[in-house]
Amino acid sequence: MKKIIRSLIPVCCLMLFSALLIQPATASAEEDLFYTYTYDYWGIERESPDAYAMNSVVLGDDFGIGNFNAPEGMFVKDNQLYICDTLNNRIIQFSYANDEFSLVKVVTEVNNNGKPEPILQPYDVFVTDDDEWYIADYGNQRIVYTDNSQNVIGTIYKPEDEETLNADYMFLPKKLVVDSAKRIFVQAENINKGFMEFEDGGEFVGYIGAADVQFDFIKYIYKLISTQEQRDQMEAFVPTEYNNIALDSEGFIYATLSKFESDNASSSKPIRRLNAKGTDILIRNGYYEQIGDVQIGNGGGYNGSSKFADVTVLDNDCYYCLDQTRGRVFGYDFQGNMLYAFGGIGYKQGCFKYPVAIESLGDSLLILDKELGIVTQMTLTEYGTLINKALDTYKIGEYDTSADYWRDVLKLNGNYDLAYIGIGRSLLRQDRFEEAMEYFKLKLDYKNYSKAYKLYRKDRIEDNVKYVFIIFVALLVIVFIKNTVKKIRREVNEE
């Protein structure tokens, strides 16, 4: 016994010594802060490397302007960041250069022909390419647009439209975007007919993209058999309200809506891409609809499906949705495949308490937290960059380069379904059908597999049709010879 203990002592010493040698555990602990995952074909969570990593946190106090108080909106143009510090009644402009934010100005009032007018609870701001500011001046019940030095160009008050708006309706603009033709699309409170559209100059045109009515058959039956009083207490079948709006590089509107039952998350299409007519043209080719979390647990006191608060679209048509239920960011590519999800609810850096807005700045994502009053900056990692490159090259038709990037992605994450399918697609283009089939089969992509198999089968048939023909002819000849032999025999026998 003693012997064993004695022999163990040097081992223990060695172990202690080697523990001193390794890097302090901060590196691994930092990785543990984040949990990035994807879903496979079966909707099972697969852990993946971090696509975005925590970079920095923007606090109002760091710039000597006091902390943000319940900020609601955020906007990014080029390298300028605008934050609507709602309860402090101000808009703050930052400039981002060399991985650092610097304060540009704080806007608390607009100059209306020499008369200063304070802005009240700004909910959102949009800055056009020629530096016109469009401010959703929620507290003043108006939209005001100004030039870069806050001289008012025009204001939009409640549109005079008796048909759709009651006299006692209060115009409370919350989110807005302005397209290249200076049309203004506004998401206002208590409007369920879609987005309000204003022309350049502020004339009210109408509504666009009304969300369809969520119709529940059982509720309908229930309503049929209930009394008038009961019916009055029930919710009416009204179209749902959008809760946020964003523009992509082509000028299409991305809209999110969050008022739906958790059970019918995929049928209510929580994220939509609207064209000029207001039709939803979002591509949904992924394993699952773009509903955020596919496996909905109720751990940690969070339950129900993901509820998107905001969406931002990158130049490569990937879009990132911000989920308020579990504080996660979901990335989707232009085909609607989920790229990854990350984030969470919490106080640690890289987590959020009540995220309300997401924007992209360079290769970072900025996430605005209303409760904490901070902006979290998350930057692309090597892994995320590789995925983006693979998607970009695929989109412009360089399938082979794209496949090379996907191979690099696979080295970092062997569970990444899109990489397998991406490689398979490139192999398919190179007429290497059998290998392509293998890749598709691995990830159960039966549609692409069928495409590859069809071509493979055609090749095989074309190669082998001559043998089939030869065998067929040979059979015919054999049958013919057999018959003649029989005939001759019979004739011989008869004689």
Tell me: does residue 395 bind other proteins (CB under 8 A): no
Are 366 and 83 in contact by the 8 Å Cβ rule? The answer is no
Does position 454 interact with other proteins (CB under 8 A)? The reply is: yes
Exactly one of 42, 157, 237, 469 binds other proteins (CB under 8 A); that residue is: 42
Query: Is residue 231 a contact residue for other proteins (CB under 8 A)?
Result: no
Number of residues that bind other proteins (CB under 8 A): 12
Question: Looking at 446, 469, 472, 480, which residue binds other proteins (CB under 8 A)?
Answer: 446
Least spacing, CB of residue 285 vs other proteins, in Å: 14
The minimum distance between CB 451 and other proteins, in angstroms, equals 8
Residue 463 binds other proteins (CB under 8 A): no
What CA–CA distance (Å, rounded) separates 428 from 209? Answer: 39
- 453 part of the interface to other proteins, by CB under 8 A: yes
Q: Which region, judged by CB under 8 A, interacts with other proteins, from 31-39, 223-231, 390-398, 441-449? A: 441-449
DSSP class of 215: -
> What is the C-alpha end-to-end distance of the chain, expressed in Å?
107
How far is C-alpha 302 from the geometric centre of its chain's CA atoms?
Answer: 21
Q: By CB under 8 A, tell whether 35 contacts other proteins.
A: no
41 contacts other proteins (rule: CB under 8 A): yes
> Whole-angstrom Cα distance, residue 185 to residue 207?
9
Selected from 3, 115, 447, 466, the binder of other proteins by CB under 8 A is 447
- HSE (side-chain half, CA atoms, 13 Å) at 432: 12
Provide the 3-class DSSP secondary structure of residue 277.
Answer: coil
Q: How far is the CB of 71 from other proteins (least distance, A)?
A: 44
| Helix or strand run (H / E) with residue 478 | helix 446-494
- Provide the β-strand partners of residue 313: 319
Per rule CB under 8 A, is residue 39 in the interface with other proteins? no
Q: How far is CA 30 from CA 55, 330, 354, 359, in A?
A: 12, 21, 22, 24
- H helices within 119-227, ranges in order? 217-225
Question: Measured from the CB atom, is 383 or 456 closer to other proteins?
Answer: 456
Contact between 441 and other proteins by CB under 8 A: the answer reads yes
Closest-CA residue to 92 (of 114, 61, 116): 61
CB 410 → other proteins: shortest distance, Å? Answer: 21
CA dihedral (249, 84, 358, 141) in degrees, to 10, reads -70
CA angle (318, 422, 43) in 5-degree steps: 70
Identified binder of other proteins from the candidate list 28, 285, 450, 484, rule CB under 8 A: 450
The minimum distance between CB 455 and other proteins, in angstroms, equals 10
Using the contact rule CB under 8 A, the part of the chain among 83-91, 183-191, 376-384, 449-457 near other proteins is 449-457
Q: Compare residues 272 and 443 and give the one whose CB is closer to other proteins.
A: 443
- φ/ψ of residue 328, rounded to 5: -110, 155
What's the min distance (Å) between Cβ of 42 and other proteins?
Answer: 6
152 or 444: CB nearest other proteins? 444
- Judged by CB under 8 A, does residue 480 bind other proteins? no
Segment interacting with other proteins (CB under 8 A) among 85-93, 184-192, 299-307, 451-459: 451-459
Grouping H, G, I as helix, E, B as strand and the rest as coil, residue 116 is strand
Nearer Cβ to other proteins (75/440): 440
> Which range, of 2-10, 51-59, 319-327, 448-456, touches other proteins by CB under 8 A?
448-456
Residue 449 found at the interface with other proteins (CB under 8 A): yes
Strands (E), 248-382: 253-257, 271-274, 308-313, 319-323, 328-332, 338-343, 355-361, 364-369, 374-380
Q: Which is nearer to other proteins, 41 or 222 (CB)?
A: 41
Interface residue with other proteins among 49, 339, 451, 473 (CB under 8 A) is 451
| Alpha-carbon span 171 to 489, nearest angstrom | 105
Buried b (16+ CB within 10 A) or exposed e, 339-362: bbbbbbbeeeebbbeebbbbbbbe
Closer by beta carbon to other proteins, 25 or else 468: 468
Complete DSSP assignment for 57-74:
EEEGGGGTS----S--EE
Least distance CB 457 / other proteins (angstroms): 7
Is residue 434 part of the contact set for other proteins (CB under 8 A)?
A: no
CB of 40 to other proteins, least distance (A): 10
Q: Which CA distances in Å does 395 have to 26, 216, 313, 366? A: 39, 39, 16, 25
Our finding on whether 157 is near other proteins (CB under 8 A) is no
Residues that bind other proteins (CB under 8 A): 41-42, 441, 444, 446-447, 449-451, 453-454, 457
